[in-house]
Amino acid sequence: MSDVRGQFSSRLGFVLAAAGSAVGLGNLVAFPVMASKNGGAAFLIIYLFFIAFICYPVMLAEISMGRKTQRNPVGAFSELSGGDKKWHLVGMLGILTPFMIAVFYTVITVWLVVYLKEIATGGLGALAEEATFGELVAQPSLFGYLAVLLGIVFFVLLGGVKGGIERLARVLMPTLAVMLILLTIFVLTLDGAVAGIKYYLVPDFSKMSLTVVNGALSQAFFSLSLGMGILITYGSYFGREDNIPQSTRMVAIADTSIAFFAGLLILPAIFAFDPNTNTDDLSTSSVGLIFSFLPKIFLSMQVAVGYTGASIVAMIFFTLVFFAALTSLVSIIEIPISCWIDEWKFSRKKAVLLQAGLLLAFAIPATMSLGMVDFFTNFTSYGGASKSFFDLVSDVFYETILPLVGFTVCIFCSYRWKMSGLSEELSRGDPDYEGSLLEKYINFSLGTIIPVVLLVVFLSTVYQIYL
């Protein structure tokens, strides 16, 4: 069975794949805007605090559960609980959540492909118009792009852990990092970029509030792929004697660095090309900023570099975002595939084909949710507003469920698996862990402070979205 499941070839392979799952739309777009609107460097300090003291311990717990059991979230919760059915159900939530997030991410990635095609064919000017996004996402031609995208994704997944997921991450993650750094250097050399740097990096503690603190934790938690079952599954592919704490730190540093550099790219670009921009009008939504606002910023570059130059820069940026979305999408879809292989004893090929059919069945109505079909466009209502099928999937599984799953992981590791079991697994490959300050902090916080914080975030999100 281990040959069917596969394993990362090295610690570097694990780090790149885990970082690929973590780096996504939130890092490249939502984080810079949230930071700029909520105190700049002050927000960044709070964000880094949460990464180190809240998210990092949860990452260690999820990866340890996966490596200890060599199974997916369902199998990990079941095995470590001795077959307790209620924990089996928690594991099922850890499979359902990434599956539905994959639906959301698939639709977003299809839009990115459409935008890349439009920019490549000289359509940057049209993308900058207010009505264009609504028109593009309601076109039946999206299904053609959907078929091509899923063909690429499932071809990668057929390659398995080492030949598919790891190989993709080894190519795309370094490429993404180089593209981001080069594009950032280009933007920082432009007139007016300094104003954006100051806006981003000079702390403004007057903007701090409980809402901002809650937003910082939510962004940090979501950014690192916590609560999705990804790290449990990737932990099951991790070498038995590899160092979990050290590798996890590398993943967190890589993910945070991408988010930080994205801020150095986007905010200076906004100030350089449109100094009159009112940043309070920027949407913290990744979708709104990418598809509605940034094309206008790139188009304004034509004054300095011409229309072709502006299109090239826009093409590079959207390719960057596409790479981030693709690595995340592959990682998310792998979670249910690992469940079909472990629990149902499917071959990888059969599991991939099953997942392809299930994802297509949900991705089609989600694609039709933005004006193409009225039934899916006005699917339900809550929080005082009409919601599409796409909105429902995003709100429930992308915005709400993740901190709840993270909460259950903390409770499970502290009171069901016990901290002694977690410490034993973390000590494998890291003999310095036992008796360290890190062990003492995790043994204390994972069953006390961290679950309380995550539960508050969950309840706060429910209140904001649904009530």
CATH domain 2-466 topology: Sodium/glucose cotransporter (1.20.1730)
Give the separation between CA 52 and CA 64, rounded to whole angstroms: 17
Is the distance from CB of 236 to CB of 69 less than 8 angstroms?
yes
- pLDDT tens figures, 42-92: 888 899 999 999 999 999 999 999 999 999 999 999 999 999 989 999 999
Among left, alpha and beta (phi > 0; psi -120 to 50; other), residue 16 is alpha
Q: What is the pLDDT along the chain (467 residues), one digit of tens a residue?
A: 444 567 898 888 999 898 888 888 778 877 887 887 788 888 888 999 999 999 999 999 999 999 999 999 999 999 999 999 899 999 999 999 999 999 999 999 999 999 999 999 999 999 999 899 999 999 999 999 999 999 999 999 999 988 898 999 999 999 989 989 998 998 898 888 888 888 888 888 888 887 778 778 878 887 888 888 899 999 999 988 899 999 999 999 999 999 899 889 888 888 887 666 666 666 555 576 788 888 888 898 888 789 999 999 899 989 998 998 899 899 999 999 999 999 999 999 999 999 999 999 999 999 999 999 999 999 999 999 999 999 999 899 988 898 899 999 999 999 999 999 999 999 999 999 999 999 999 999 999 999 999 998 899 889 888 98
- In degrees, rounded to 5, the angle at the alpha carbon of residue 222 between the alpha carbons of residues 330 and 9 is 40
Tally Cβ neighbours within 10 Å of residue 365. Answer: 18
Phi–psi pair at 176, nearest 5 degrees: -60, -45
Nearest Cα residue to 314 out of 266, 258, 260 = 266
Kind plus residue range of the DSSP H or E element containing 223:
helix 210-223
Give the separation between CA 237 and CA 72, rounded to whole angstroms: 10
Q: Domain spans of the chain?
A: 2-466
Nearest Cα residue to 158 out of 348, 330, 3 = 348
Tally Cβ neighbours within 10 Å of residue 117. Answer: 13
